[in-house]
Amino acid sequence: MNKPAPVESRPYHHGDLRRALIEAARRILEADGPAALSLRGVAREAGVSPAAPYHHFKDKGELLDAVAHEGFEALAVALKDAKSKAVDVKDAMASLGVAYVKFAGANPALYRVMSDCSRDKDAMPDHLHDDEDSAYCTVRNTLVQAGLEGATPLDLELATVAAWCAAHGLAEMSGFRQFEGLKKELGGEDAFLRGVLEHLGMFAKVMKG
Amino acid sequence: MNKPAPVESRPYHHGDLRRALIEAARRILEADGPAALSLRGVAREAGVSPAAPYHHFKDKGELLDAVAHEGFEALAVALKDAKSKAVDVKDAMASLGVAYVKFAGANPALYRVMSDCSRDKDAMPDHLHDDEDSAYCTVRNTLVQAGLEGATPLDLELATVAAWCAAHGLAEMSGFRQFEGLKKELGGEDAFLRGVLEHLGMFAKVMKG
DNA sequence: GCGCACATCTGAACGTTGTCAAGATGAACT
DNA sequence: AGTTCATCTTGACAACGTTCAGATGTGCGC
């Protein structure tokens, strides 16, 4: 047997089953959707017995957690990328929002696993919220740079949460067929997304007193 | 046998199994959460055999659709109620948002079934979107009354969608433990919700050019 | 009132799933 | 070499969604 040489203290029998399982899960996810993802199916796809995964994940849920974790990392990358491509600082915020929604649209099954895991734990992943260069901080920093220096820290935090919630809501609803007319009228999905995000202000302006 | 007399052309053997099944499902849902809801369990709770539901619903999914439908009706009632209780027209919009999120918080399992069904069909229920006094129209009308008469119809539509997305996003995320600090700092959940909704404007203001 | 047709419910079955316990297998360390 | 231990397999179990053949009762035409 010529295994690829145990570079780290990880591989044993299979090489790196944990990794293989996560990748098999992502493959099944994008191919057949979240409803078709079974632990047995993942094991089958990875070429091991149905009980093998239990030596790497305590649960089916823990496998999904791992998949979701990778999804959130990819999301953070997509957001950073979008911000770096923004034409100016006023555009950065909208770009972030659009990038968020488009990530969800491009990886619908993955995004669904991500949000399901979050809701099951009543929390977004901590690294996403706490780390210095987390997605959460990226949004907050962008808000500051775009002209919210005057705001109190509390304002800033609330605005960040507001932005995140709006992006998540739009991500889950932007595919609704009832919005097809609006998209056509505006000339595409991007215009629709930007339009909705911009009109959050109009909506918010009529509130409070 | 003294059945409650066939008021309509509905009841046969059981009386009204369809209704009984939906109620059994809602009972299980609120007691044990969405993950514990099985078709067999619902049948058991209703006192019938595991195959009985298939004469009233083609699928487990169709049962959930029916449950979700009732949920959306309850939501619409809650929104109307909140609007009628608003102190002034400027307060109505915020009240609607808070009512939406609090409905989700008060019926978490039901709300989850509702949004899962929506996502599976890539659509919100049509009656919620189209009917004259639907929740969607309630939001739009409120926007008009609160001072958006000048806006174009397109603006109005986009603002309505924006409001809905924001409410949905906040509904799904407001329970996250990462926000507990903010809630405490603001003195309660209501203040947190209102705060986030109001800061949607601050977030939106820094967008576009 | 009788019998027919049909909606409704039951019982048993099939394939699939998540999970577990007991044993086989092979790598690393002594 | 032999021991130890993580890893993987085999086989089993209960629960699930779903289907089908058959029992059961309801309403309708006669």
Instruction: Write out pLDDT tens, residues B86-138.
Output: 988 888 999 999 999 999 999 999 999 999 999 999 999 998 888 888 889 99
CB B90 within 8 A of CB A207: yes
Contacts A88 to B, Cβ<8 Å? 209
Among residues A165, A91, A158, A184, the alpha carbon closest in space to that of B157 is found at A184
What pLDDT, on a 0 to 100 scale, did the predictor assign at position A13? 67
Average pLDDT estimate for A40-69: 97
Q: What is the dihedral of CA A149, B165, A131, A57, to 10 degrees?
A: 180
Give the Cα separation of A171 and A115 in Å (integer).
11
Residue of B124, B154, B195 with shortest CB distance to A176: B124
The CATH 1.10.357 domain(s) of chain B lie at: 65-205
Average pLDDT estimate for A28-40: 97
HSE-up of B100 (CA within 13 Å, CB side)? 25
Neighbours of B184 (CB within 10 A): 10
Which CATH class for the A60-205 domain?
mainly alpha
The CATH 1.10.10 domain(s) of chain B lie at: 14-57
Is the CB of residue B51 inside 7 Å of nucleic acid strand D?
Answer: yes
The CATH 1.10.357.10 domain(s) of chain A lie at: 60-205
Residue of A179, A185, A209 with shortest CB distance to B90: A209
What pLDDT, on a 0 to 100 scale, did the predictor assign at position B41? 98
Beta carbons of B122 and A175 less than 8 Å apart:
yes
Tell me if residue B149 falls in helix, strand or coil.
coil
Domain at A1-56: CATH code: 1.10.10
Domain at B14-57: CATH code: 1.10.10
- Which residues 6+ apart lie within 8 Å of A67 measured at CB? A22, A25, A26, A29, A110, A113
Neighbours of A58 (CB within 10 A): 11
What pLDDT, on a 0 to 100 scale, did the predictor assign at position B102? 96
Instruction: Quote the percentage of chain A above a pLDDT of 70.
Output: 93
Give the Cα separation of A190 and B170 in Å (integer).
23
Condensed to tens digits (0 to 9), the pLDDT of residues B147-182 reads 887 789 999 999 999 999 999 999 999 999 999 999
B6 CA: distance to closest CA in chain A (Å): 39
The CATH 1.10.10 domain(s) of chain A lie at: 1-56
- How far, in Å, is the CA of B46 from the C1' of nucleotide D21? 24
Dihedral sign from CA coordinates of B94, B99, B101, B105: positive
DSSP assignment letter at A94: H
- How far, in Å, is the CA of B43 from the C1' of nucleotide C4? 31
> Is CATH 1.10.357 the right assignment for the domain spanning B65-205?
yes
Contacts A170 to B, Cβ<8 Å? 162, 165, 169
The answer on pLDDT for B145 being more than 80 is yes
